[in-house]
Structure 1
């Protein structure tokens, strides 16, 4: 790529990054979108709860987004992995694993998060297919089906209350000794939610579709779907290396304009929000692109009238 200097570089070219790119492209800014091609929902068969795109595959949505962005001649794409970033006198410089470097006034990180899979055989293979994180994304498709929750304590109890909206055939798996209170167990029982405290050995599945939960004592329970919240890490540590602060939950801290605690660095999508939906990622990306472009426009105007 001949051009090495841009108004903005977007790291991460999935839904949020593409939306940021569109906002910047429409603001006539020179933009580079760098993506390594490993979105977190790559196993998810269909995307839902996104108006006009409901039921499309994740790849369909992203491919359409890239196609629409090709209309904007100031937006460029590069397949690659960014390994580091640093501040310069005029903005930022980033380096790829290939050794290439690029410079920009502003950076936007749309890099998502990395889910930490539970140490259960078959769990990772089912993630996003029949092991689910969000009932608003996937609950309708498994409504009234035999469903499980892998959780414990207060957070698991609250999740079971939520999931009971989509199915009355619900089982709560604590995957070992239960930390539920007696009152919580009583309340679950009143809603016919069974609590099982056996240790899980594996998930029997066919191409990621759960058939049975198998316990260490070799007993099993058949299911259609499981909700299983997982801890996460930031997929990219470069914002932290630049000095961006994290929240107590591990998300990148942002203001109302998607800007981090470091001037000129913006983030959008799953790396900064609990609301883990494609629709929200697009909304945050649009906001980040508008905010970054507006900041550049104002800075340029002010510099010429001083």
Structure 2
């Protein structure tokens, strides 16, 4: 089956791109595996008009609205392989279905690589969190830990210290701060804990205590974690899309990747991980794809 645009990923950025394209009467297929990275997060914040809502509810409302546009189709499946073909791209799914499209939008997201520490996966997105803009206000004035080291820890420390007077950095081993960085943290009364973290004690995902390898415990209300990530899909890399030094799909100011006809939006191509940012980048990607399709025919 042939479409004008295939969108891989049906979360916020993919749905936003589909909305722009559907309103332009483009024949669009969204392929989604139903595994968003924030599926465990109870509330979404910092998105105007939807502040405090459940992420799943925002996504469900978005799908309902996009489905009003009859040129947009949905497929619950996983895109497994992609290749360039004359006039566009061919996508083969996990179930063996094959589709082709003139343009491809990768809204495939990322997967966080959680450390092998008991309790982290249970608390992830609830009280072990990644973003002060998404979760900081709700955890303001509470005893807060930061699981990070070096520049990442320093970046978070300034943001979190603005929200809470009681902040500790857990480096999970020997810290790598320079003398100047250590002095800066001390000036702001930010404790550095180098003892390895062994366990998170929690109640249904709500952090109570951190337990360290020497047996001592510290009570905290929440912990930010600067974690590594990996792509949720290998599709952009199968097509040869260039990456940034941090591992994101490299895009220009119009969401274009290094491969002509392939676009990327959302978390896979931005360090700003938020619903609002994903929606904005998807809207832009959809508009630019529509313009390119128009330019190819309006001659």
Shorter-chain TM-score: what band? Answer: over 0.9
| Contact 2:152–2:226, Cα closer than 8 Å, also in 1 | no
CA–CA distance in 2 between the matches of 1:30 and 1:167? 49
SS in 2 for 1:211: strand
CA–CA distance in 2 between the matches of 1:65 and 1:259? 24
CA–CA distance in 2 between the matches of 1:184 and 1:254? 33
SS in 2 for 1:19: helix
1:169 aligns with 2:166: yes
1:208-247 alignment runs, 5 A limit:
208-247=205-244
RMSD: 1.0
Instruction: String of CA shifts for 1:98-126, please: whole Å, max 9, x gaps.
Output: 11101110010100011111121111111
Matched with 1:267 is: 264
SS in 2 for 1:178: coil
Shift of residue 197, structure 1, vs aligned partner: 1.2
1:59-208 alignment runs, 5 A limit:
59-208=56-205
SS in 2 for 1:187: helix
CA–CA distance in 2 between the matches of 1:130 and 1:238? 32
Shift of residue 209, structure 1, vs aligned partner: 0.9
SS in 1 for 2:21: helix
SS in 2 for 1:254: coil
Instruction: String of CA shifts for 1:191-221, please: whole Å, max 9, x gaps.
Output: 2211111111011111111110001111100
SS in 1 for 2:163: coil
SS in 1 for 2:288: helix
Shift of residue 259, structure 1, vs aligned partner: 1.1
Superposition TM-score, scaled by structure 2 size: 0.98
CA–CA distance in 2 between the matches of 1:262 and 1:160? 38
Shift of residue 70, structure 1, vs aligned partner: 1.6
CA–CA distance in 1 between the matches of 2:62 and 2:151? 40
Q: More displaced, 232-241 or 280-289? A: 232-241
Matched with 1:46 is: 43
CA–CA distance in 1 between the matches of 2:19 and 2:223? 36
Unaligned 5+ segments in structure 1 are: none
CA–CA distance in 2 between the matches of 1:115 and 1:132? 11
Unaligned 5+ segments in structure 2 are: none
Counterpart pick for 1:255 among 247, 252, 256: 252
Superposition TM-score, scaled by structure 1 size: 0.96
Shift of residue 90, structure 1, vs aligned partner: 1.4
Mark the CA change 1:143 to 1:242 in structure 2 (over 3 Å): closer, same or farther. same
Shift of residue 300, structure 1, vs aligned partner: 1.3
Q: Number of paired residues?
A: 299
Instruction: String of CA shifts for 1:195-252, please: whole Å, max 9, x gaps.
Output: 1111110111111111100011111001110011101111111111111111111111
Counterpart pick for 1:57 among 45, 54, 57: 54
CA–CA distance in 2 between the matches of 1:66 and 1:182? 51
Instruction: String of CA shifts for 1:231-281, please: whole Å, max 9, x gaps.
Output: 111111111111111111111111121111111111100000011000000
